[in-house]
């Protein structure tokens, strides 16, 4: 396991490249199949609105998985991400309009830990609203 980013090159405040990702209904179907999470609120507008949601929403773990990509791409080795935690603060509504939603992921190094590890705090928004809170990753740098 070898992260490309070296701990010597990183300090508190180091920013990760911003990642902008579209999320469409097709992405939700694909993620449902790959993850085994077939909860109907992620593909059925009728059921989603019946249970009080504004519409079909993305799987929380799809949002979390997309956000983690910003960290693993930066680190250079996905195996370097040793801890990851998120709180799902707001659903990502994915309209059936041919465009879908857009997820913006920003990250910065919030703490330098022992043994070359750093904590990266993520800010994840869709439509200008925070959709994850306390999104944190611990990365083992080389």
List of residues contacting other proteins (CB under 8 A): 1-2, 21, 27, 30-31, 33-37, 51, 60-62, 64-66, 68-69, 72-73, 77-79, 81-88, 134
**Residue 124 β-bridge partners:** 105, 132
| Rounded-to-integer distance, Cα 5 and Cα 142, Å | 7
Beta carbon of residue 12, minimum distance to other proteins (angstroms, whole number): 23
Beta carbon of residue 13, minimum distance to other proteins (angstroms, whole number): 24
Q: DSSP string covering 96-142, please?
A: SSSS-EEEEEEEEEEEE-STTEEEEEEEEEETTEEEEEEEEEEEE--
Torsion of CA 73, 75, 32, 100, to 10 degrees: -40
Beta carbon of residue 62, minimum distance to other proteins (angstroms, whole number): 7
Contact by Cβ (8 Å): 138, 7 = no
Residue number with CB closer to other proteins (11 or 87): 87
68: phi then psi, degrees, rounded to nearest 5? -65, -30
Residue number with CB closer to other proteins (2 or 11): 2
**The two three-digit tokens of residue 138, written as one number:** 């611990």
Beta carbon of residue 97, minimum distance to other proteins (angstroms, whole number): 20
Residue number with CB closer to other proteins (33 or 55): 33
Residue number with CB closer to other proteins (11 or 73): 73
Beta carbon of residue 16, minimum distance to other proteins (angstroms, whole number): 15
Residue number with CB closer to other proteins (64 or 141): 64
């Amino acid at each position: 396991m070898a992260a490309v980013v070296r701990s010597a090159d990183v300090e508190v405040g180091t920013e990760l490249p911003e990642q902008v990702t579209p999320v469409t209904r097709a992405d939700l179907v694909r993620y449902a199949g790959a993850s085994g999470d077939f909860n109907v609120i992620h593909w059925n507008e009728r059921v989603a609105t019946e249970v009080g949601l504004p519409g079909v929403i993305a799987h929380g773990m799809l949002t979390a998985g997309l956000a983690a990509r910003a960290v693993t791409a930066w680190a250079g080795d996905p195996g370097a991400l040793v801890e990851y935690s998120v709180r799902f603060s707001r659903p990502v509504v994915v309209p059936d309009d041919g465009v879908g939603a857009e997820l913006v992921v920003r990250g910065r190094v919030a703490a330098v830990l022992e043994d070359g590890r750093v904590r990266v705090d993520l800010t994840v928004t869709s439509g200008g609203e925070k959709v994850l809170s306390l999104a944190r990753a611990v990365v083992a740098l080389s």
